[in-house]
Structure formats: C-alpha cells, structure tokens
Amino acid sequence: MAPVSNATPLVGLDAAVIDTETTGLDPAKARIVEIGVVPLRAGKLDRAAALRRLVNPGVPIPPATTAIHHIDDAAVAAAPGFAAAWADIAAATAGSVLIGHTLGFDLAVLKRECERAGLAWAPPRTLDTRLLAQVAEPRLGGYTLEHLATWLGVTVDGRHSAVGDAELTGRIFLALLPKLREGHIRTLAEAEQACLALTGVLDQQHRAGWEEAMVAPQARDREALARIDSYPYRHRVADVMSAPVKFVTADTLLGAALNCMAREKISSLLVTPAGAATAAGLRANDVAIITERDVLRALSERGPTALGQSVSNFASTPLVTLPAAAFVYRALGRMSRLKLRHLGVEDENGGICGIVTSRDLLRLRAQEASILGDAIDQADDVPALAAAWARLPQAASGLVAESVPARDAAAVISRELGALTRRAAVLAERQMAAEGAGPPPCAYAMCVLGSAGRGESLLAMDQDNALVFAEGAPGAAADQWFARLGIIVADILHEVGVPYCKGGVMAKNAAWRGSVATWQARVAEWISRSNPADLLSVDIFFDLVGVHGDTRLANHLWRGAFDAAAGNAAFAKLLADASGEVQSATTLFGTLRTENGRIDLKATGLFGIVATARVLAIRHHVLERATPARLAAVAALARGGVQDLEALARAQALLLDLILAQQIADIGMGLPPSNKVVVKRLSRNQRKALHESFAAVGHLETLTRDLLF
C-alpha cells in the first residue's frame, strides 16, 4: 500500500471504503449487524478483495430494519460478536484512509461498539462522499447515494448490504474526482479542508450524535521527512561518474577485454557495434556493457574457452542510462530497482559521456531518498503516477528541514516535473497505440519550458510544455498525430496534479508544437516583430529543455534560437516590454503591500528577476537556462552592473526560500500552494532581507536598459 500524505492526489489514493448495517439509526443505541470493506488501490476498486462480516449484535433486530437490509436474528445467530468480527475489519483497514457515505454515523457506531467490547478506538483519517458531493455541487437536490448515483451516472447495485453500499460509495467517490478537480481540489488535504468548510452540515451531524467525519489536516509528514539524506538531492550524476569511459567493439575477444579492464583498473567496458570506427554519436540503444561480473560468469559457465570468444556473447544490452544532469538520488533509485552495478551517463545530446558505478555511490546509503524519482519512472497508469508525484512535497519538506536552499530543492522539483512529463508522454504513446494510432510518425522531443526548463519550479506549478518533431507541416498527418499526443499528455498531467496552463503554453495547442522547420520559421517571425503584444509568452521558449524522445531536436532548436537572437537588442527589449511591469511590493508608507495578510512574492519580485536575466541572456548570447547562471554570465561580460546583478541573484534565492517554506506549510494545512507568503510568519531578519530584495528589484528597469544597449 502506497504511503499516504497530505499531498497524495485523490486519483492515486489507497483507501478502504467501509459501510455498516445496524439495528437502528440512533448512534447511541444502534448495534452493528454487518460490516463491509472494499479496498481502493490506485484509483481502482478491488471487489475481489472485499471483506464482509456478519455480526451478532446481542440484541433483537427490529423488523423495521430487517425490512431494509434483510438481515434478521436467524441470519446472525451463528455469527461472532463484534469483538471477533472487528479484528478482521481493523486489520483490513489499518493505516488506510476510510471512505464512506455519511461516514460520521458509521464512525459513531463503531466507536461505541469498541467501547462496549473494551477495544481501543483510534479515529482514522477519513473522506465522506456526502460532504465531497456538496463541495463539488452545492446546489444538488439531495445527497443520498441514489441522488449522487443519478447525478454522476453510476449504476446502483446491491443496495442496503454492507459490501454493496461500500462498493457503490467507492464508485461514487471515483466519479466525483473530475468534479472536484474542476474546483481545484486534487489532494487529500485539500479535500479535507474543503469539507471542513461545510460547517452547517457538520454541526447538524454533531447534534445527531455522529462522530466528526472530517478532521483538520495536520503536517503529518514532518518527523519522517526530517531524516532525509540531502546529499543525493544536491549532487548530480556528473559529480560522481567516472569519465572518460573505455569502448571496445563487439568483436573484441573477452580475454582482451579482461586485460583492458585490469590495465585501466576499471570494472566495465562499453561495447560498440562491430566495425564502428568511433563511439562518437552513438546513443544508449546502440551500446552494450560488459562488466567484470559478466567475465566471471562467462568463465564459470564456459571455462577458459570463453576468453577466446567475442564480448558480444556476454555483454548486456541496451545500456541503461541517466543524463549527466540527473540528481544522484535517481541513480540510486534506478540501480536499486533494476539491481544494477553500472549505469551509463548521457550528455545533453544523448551521447555517452561517463559511467556511474555502485562503488561510486556506496558511501551515500540513501535508499529512502532514492525512491522519489524512480517511482515516477515505474508508474504504469495515471493513478500510480499521481501517487508517485505525491511524494514530491514530502521530499521538498525534508530538504527544507535539512536547511537545503530552496534553489537546490527547486532543481529537484524541476527534474521531477520533467520526469513526470516524460512519463506522461510514454503513457500517452501507449494509449494512442491502443487506440490504433500507431507509433510516432517521426522522431520527436517532448519539452518543458518556463520554471521547469530553468530548474526553478516550486510546488505551485502549472503546465508549460511543447513538442518538436522532425518533419511535417502544420495540419498534416504528423502534426495531427502529435496534437493528439499533446492532448493526452496535458490531460494526464492535469489529472495527476499539474493543472493546465492558463496561458495555453501546452503542446496540445498548435502554437506550441511543430516540426523543426516550423519552429525555426516561428522563431524568425518572432525576431522580426515590432510590437510587444505579439510576443506574449514567447520569452519562456528560451527556457526550453527536452525531457523525452530525441532531445537533440530540442537542444538544437534552443541553441538555434539563441543564435538567431544574438546581438538583437531591439528584440530583447520587445521581450522585456512584453513581460510587463513588476508589481509594487510596498505602500507609500514603506510597508509591505499585502492582501489578506499575504504578499505575492512572484508578482512583486521573482517574476522581474527571472525576466531580466532571460532577456539579458538572449541579448548577449548566454547559453544558460538557470537564472543565477544567466546573471553570473552577464556579470562576467564586464559590461557593468555587477553589484546589481549579484543583488538580484541573492534576492531570487531569498524569495525562493520564503515561497517554498510557505508552500510546504500550506500543503500541510490542506491549502493549495501559491506564491503568496503570510507576512506575519516572517521573522524580523527575513522582513529586513525582503525589503533589501525589493530594493534590488527596484533597479530592474534601469539595469535592463543599461545592459541591453
């Protein structure tokens, strides 16, 4: 069962749907005659694993209630008492979120039965479909199971049996999820918080003697997260890999390969196709690997004669790889899952540039931390992907608890958003194949843009993605295939918890997909424009990075765009004008400008810093994506403004720290994360530093003008 956190998406929730049948409707007197539990695992009801227990209540069952649930005294005469039946139910629901309909009644009856039997009662974490339905549609005529089934188009079967009602409740819960997403309610804690706002209904249930069906979410994950090992999240594979690597051709004899490993004191060799003149340009699918363990296995199985055979008989293919820019925790996770001792390392164009071994990683010992990224890579459907994605806020919280700067945490979040987008593309390809659309018509790259491309995403994010494919005119067959792919990817990301981009920057829209030729023409058209209004959202294209497919297409296009814009001050200024003005952070009296006690640190500071760094990078042909790297590179050009640029880098770091800390706190309380920070929670030193940051942002217009021209 997947661990449950405040950030667990409802679509990926592991839970137990429960229902009881009783002797009456007064929770103070009612006794249980039947309990049913149906497991919910990653968005699917497991009817085959349903648990039903009849219970002898020890009192006569009134005929009026028998007429409803068809359970009479004879039916329960041989059934165990509550204590014996409860042991199985408690084991089946232990650690699970309980889902029920008008669940407060069931909880009240269960609690009193436990008290009568002398059993301990621990209030579980719960969701009530009656409350969720009112959150999703406050104007519904009624909220009985029948009302909800009719509204949601759910078939009603087996009413007034515990398992039948539990199964119906589970199907209603799943049907409610799209309605809740429309109201921006995606996670467990957000659902809890929304239900708590129904004070009138909750007060009415309390007066009826029901237990509280909803409890305010708490920051439940903090203790476990504080133990996270931050090293794998702060270092890249490039930091620990061995390079350069040694290559041999497939027809090399095993004995010669063994001598090479001994001479070079290495534990593996990469194997290129026979006759290959060079390893240049080869990608992972073209390369195999032969390790010292493979040699020992060959000698064990075939004896000394193995040394006279070619390495192609013993090498493993294809080579499993990770990008050099991936974090170490991803290498740990992949090697642990696949039981590997060696991983290939790819450069930004997919070429092999190094090897990382288990020996390189031995000292890290971070198996708990490593699970984060690999869980996304393993997900085989949307609910599993959602459950994997839910681990991200936990990891971010753990990093903050370890005093890791938000800038480093943002890099982790961004890499995982890229991995999520990549996995969504894989699942979308599978769906299209199942629909009969066939494989991709040509090579393509799925890309992320904006903060994900810069490595600066925090926990309040939406989609920014694009598609680059090798060939095909707008509206032609290839473009239509990729349009469908973009739609499915966007839907998957939205369902998992990364909402649609309000500005439409998604590959499902024609403006954000195209062939290499289409994109090149598009870039040329942008540069020729003379009106800032024509360049809205164009700037984030210069943050583009490929995350799936042939990423060389994306990298080539990105570099080409910088080449085309190099030295064009007019275009850079138009981009600066198109990005708009930074909102004022202070009032006339010098106090922080707040709304409902919060200040939007993105609108008042972060946005302007990022936009300025990007525009200056485009103007001066700085081939960097991250804001700090862009600012440092522009400063290194010695064109002036060095102190101002350094101040902007410090300001960005502070703003990221404050925003991420607030987002983690909000998620813990069931509030959607945003870029708005509660001013009262800031210390005196933080407020002072914030004012200094806003002073640095106040020079943006002058600094941009000076460094552009």
Compute the average pLDDT of residues 417-434: 96
CATH number of 10-217: 3.30.420.10
254-264 vs 292-302: helix crossing angle, rounded to 10: 140
Say whether pLDDT at 168 is over 90.
Answer: yes
H or E stretch including 592?
A: none
User: In 149-295, which ranges are E strands?
Assistant: 247-249, 268-272, 288-291
Q: What is the pLDDT of residue 218?
A: 60
Q: What is the pLDDT of residue 447?
A: 98
Say whether pLDDT at 668 is over 50.
Answer: yes
Say whether pLDDT at 255 is over 90.
Answer: yes
CATH of 231-374, one of 2.30.42.10, 3.90.950.10, 3.10.580.10, 2.40.160.20: 3.10.580.10
Say whether pLDDT at 694 is over 80.
Answer: yes
**What rounded mean pLDDT belongs to the chain?**
90
- Is the CB of residue 288 less than 8 Å from the CB of residue 257? no
Say whether pLDDT at 5 is over 90.
Answer: no
> Which residues does residue 342 pair with via DSSP β-bridges, in sequence order?
357
- Give 95-146 pLDDT, tens digit per residue: 899 999 999 999 999 999 999 999 999 889 999 999 999 999 999 989 999 9
The pLDDT confidence band at residue 628, using thresholds 50, 70 and 90, is very high
Say whether pLDDT at 434 is over 90.
Answer: yes
Q: What is the pLDDT of residue 225?
A: 42
Higher pLDDT, 282 or 30: 30
- Give 487-501 pLDDT, tens digit per residue: 999 999 999 989 999
Q: What is the pLDDT of residue 517?
A: 97
Higher pLDDT, 506 or 123: 506
CA-to-CA distance for 664 and 655, rounded, in angstroms? 14
Q: CA 347 → CA 138, 306, 344, 593, distances in Å?
A: 53, 34, 10, 45
Residue partners of 165: CB distance under 8 A and separation at least 6: 19, 36, 101, 145, 158, 159
Rounded (5°) CA angle 98-106-130? 70
Signed CA dihedral, 241, 242, 243, 249: sign only:
negative
Neighbours of 115 (CB within 10 A): 11
CA-to-CA distance for 213 and 255, rounded, in angstroms? 70
Q: What is the pLDDT of residue 363?
A: 53
Q: What is the DSSP string of 129-162?
A: HHHHHHHH-TT-S--SHHHHHHHHTPPP-STTSH
Q: What is the pLDDT of residue 360?
A: 75
Residue closest to 535 by CA, chosen among 565, 558, 500: 565
Compute the average pLDDT of residues 669-678: 91
Q: What is the pLDDT of residue 226?
A: 43
Q: What is the pLDDT of residue 361?
A: 74
Neighbours of 606 (CB within 10 A): 26
CA-to-CA distance for 18 and 39, rounded, in angstroms? 9
| Both structure tokens of 534 | 């024509």
- Give 358-412 pLDDT, tens digit per residue: 877 765 544 444 546 578 888 899 998 998 898 888 888 888 887 889 999 999 9
H or E stretch including 364?
A: none
Residue closest to 98 by CA, chosen among 212, 225, 224, 190: 212
CATH number of 379-526+540-555: 3.30.460.10
Q: What is the pLDDT of residue 295?
A: 93
For residue 531, the 8-state DSSP code is -
**What is the number of alpha carbons within 13 Å of residue 276 lying toward its C-beta?**
19
pTM flag (> 0.85): no
Strands 342-346 and 321-323: parallel
CA-to-CA distance for 643 and 620, rounded, in angstroms? 18
The pLDDT confidence band at residue 175, using thresholds 50, 70 and 90, is very high
Compute the average pLDDT of residues 533-557: 93
- Is the CB of residue 525 less than 8 Å from the CB of residue 322? no
**What is the number of alpha carbons within 13 Å of residue 25 lying toward its C-beta?**
7
Q: What is the pLDDT of residue 279?
A: 63
Which range among 95-99, 280-284, 451-455, 670-674 shows the weakest confidence by mean pLDDT?
280-284
Say whether pLDDT at 677 is over 50.
Answer: yes
Say whether pLDDT at 42 is over 50.
Answer: yes
* Helix residue ranges per DSSP H, 600-641: 601, 607-619, 627-636
Q: What is the pLDDT of residue 221?
A: 44
Q: What is the pLDDT of residue 372?
A: 63
Which range among 104-108, 159-163, 273-277 shows the weakest confidence by mean pLDDT?
273-277
User: In 192-280, which ranges are E strands?
Assistant: 247-249, 268-272
CA-to-CA distance for 286 and 376, rounded, in angstroms? 25
- In one letter, which amino acid is 376? I
Q: What is the pLDDT of residue 359?
A: 77
CA-to-CA distance for 667 and 672, rounded, in angstroms? 6
> Which residues does residue 248 pair with via DSSP β-bridges, in sequence order?
271
Q: What is the pLDDT of residue 219?
A: 47
Q: What is the pLDDT of residue 327?
A: 87
Q: What percent of the chain has pLDDT over 90?
A: 68
CA-to-CA distance for 428 and 433, rounded, in angstroms? 9
